[in-house]
Amino acid sequence: MAQNLQQLKKRIKASQNIAQITKAMEMIAASKIRKAQSSVEKHNPYAKKIMYMVQKILTDKDLHEGIAKFSNARQGNKLIYVISPDKGLCGGLVVNLFKKLSLCASKDDYIVAIGKKAINYVSKYDYNVLASFAAGTSFPRYEDIYPMIDIAKKFYFSGEAASVSVVHTEFKNMLVQEAVETEIFPIKPDAGFIDAYGIDYIFEPSAQQVLQDLMPYYFEVEFYGALMNAYASEQAARMAAMKNAKENAKEISASLTNIYNKSRQEKITNEILDLANGQQR
């Protein structure tokens, strides 16, 4: 019995330590998610305005020349960016992300892996990997995207890739993060997007030239938005996972403490009975 009590004490201590560690990790993720959520919300108006300008030109029936290479569908292999965390402890986020990738990508498609989890996954399953980048543990900087998007500029505009898309986790809210594929090129004209804004413009020097000049910003904004969403989703998923782990550790600690107290009381009762039986003899 003494040995069992000692083991119970060790298990109680271990579960309490786990609760403390997961609580600290939950608080770290919570502090990071506030900055990420704020940045995503500030980024959205700028991204929507650029998307509106691009869609305005693409849906103009009078424009034909100079825009086909941005909107026409092609035949061939896709170039897919996959953005994952560098670290785990994110619940089912990484698993759902790779399920989405397996549905979107074939073995012949070009893959650019961002994040150690993605690098390990695409290497393990022999995808056609062009390049890999570490995601890091801090909020992504805008200047970090340029080496990443240079690959897409080279492959898409040269015609080697038929399309460019990003598989990442979209941040819906603190409880919901969804694995999605965001197609950047070709751009699909959407008249409904224009109707939602209903603003008209006169383009100078020409709509084609404006579209040509907008393309680098459009690509950067769309790609950076995916990076920010992936980072925010990672922190939200980790915060939820650590909260659940903390609660489970506390429940285990409470249950083990209850068993320990009952076992200890039983041991004391048995010792008292032994003493009473000895006196009677």
**Predicted confidence (pLDDT) per residue in 252-266, tens digit:** 989 888 888 888 888
Average pLDDT, the chain: 83
Burial of 50 (C-beta count, 10 Å sphere; 0-12/13-18/19+): middle
Residues 62 and 119 grouped into a single domain: yes
Residues 208 and 133 grouped into a single domain: yes
- Residue with the bigger pLDDT between 275 and 33: it is 33
pLDDT digits (tens, 9 = 90+) for 8-37: 888 889 988 988 998 998 888 888 888 888
Q: Is residue 201 part of a domain?
A: yes
Q: Is residue 209 part of a domain?
A: yes
pTM assigned to the model: 0.80
CA distances from 82 to 112, 131, 271 (A): 6, 11, 65
Give the CATH number for residue 265. 1.10.287.80
What domain count does the chain have?
2
Closest C-alpha to 172, from 42, 41, 26: 41
Which DSSP symbol is given to 166? E
pLDDT band of residue 3 (cuts 50, 70, 90) is low
Token pair for residue 232? Answer: 């925010």
Closest C-alpha to 54, from 156, 185, 159, 169: 185
Lowest-pLDDT range, 8-22, 171-185, 201-215?
A: 201-215
Token pair for residue 30? Answer: 């919570």
Residues 81 and 197 grouped into a single domain: yes
Q: Is residue 103 part of a domain?
A: yes
Closest C-alpha to 231, from 99, 95, 137: 137
pLDDT of residue 191: 63
First to last CA, the chain: 25
CB burial readout 74-90, b (16+ within 10 A) else e: eeebbbbbbbbbeeebb
Domain of 119 in residue numbering reads as 43-237
Residues 230 and 95 grouped into a single domain: yes
Q: Is residue 36 part of a domain?
A: no
- Residue with the bigger pLDDT between 193 and 90: it is 90
Other Cβ atoms closer than 10 A to 194:
17
Which DSSP symbol is given to 106? -
